[in-house]
Amino acid sequence: MQVAIVLYPGFTSLDVIGPYEVLGRLPDTEVVFVAEHPGLVVNDLRSLSINAVASFDEVPNPDVVVVGGGPGQMEQMTNENLHEWLRKVDRTSTWTASACTGSMLLAAAGLLEGRQATTHWAGHEILAKLGVTPSKERVVIDGHYATAAGVSAGIDMALTLAGLIAGDDVAQTIQLIIEYAPEPPYHAGSPDSAPAEVVERAMKEISA
């Protein structure tokens, strides 16, 4: 099985590294980082780069496609080369997936029209304008599309896919190996649970 994870300048690291850590541990699986232009691709904090070993044309038939989000995603909303590749590989992929605002790129490519999907909590209105029914669920499965809410939810999405692809025992084994048992010190992981002043501060930082 081949998993293609999309990179572009300004991606959020955990959006792609979380799914990589999970899906890369599935039996007989090859993970390939792909980009429009192969080579080192720098993240949104400009302090970490991942090597995209292949161009879009070099990965024509992945079994699973994963698109992460990040500030750089906005520039990709009109990248027809990326959109064309997403539409092409989606025709034969078993799963087309996203983490965080990566679902906006799937929607911009026309893949999620009329479907339910999730994204980062700050992006629900944009997703709706793209013809998608936004959901507050952490992971949404609609057809062969799997979308995750913000950043860390990509791990949940990948574990969900691992279970659907290889069975619950394999997925649970991976979860144990990576010791994914979150116990955050604060209850500020969503706008519904975070203090109002924290939500306000977060919105200002996102909009800056």
The H-assigned helical ranges of 56-101 are 73-76, 80-90
Q: At what angle do helices 153-166 and 13-23 cross, to 10 degrees?
A: 20
Task: Report the DSSP beta bridge partners of residue 97.
Answer: 66, 146
CA-closest candidate to residue 45, choices 10, 8, 75:
10
Beta carbons within 8 Å of 146's beta carbon, 6+ residues apart:
95, 96, 97, 98, 139, 140, 157, 160, 161
| Amino acid, res. 123 | G
Q: Which one of 100, 104, 132, 146 is the catalytic residue?
A: 100
Query: Is 188 labeled as catalytic in the residue annotation?
Result: no
- Give the catalytic positions in this structure: 100
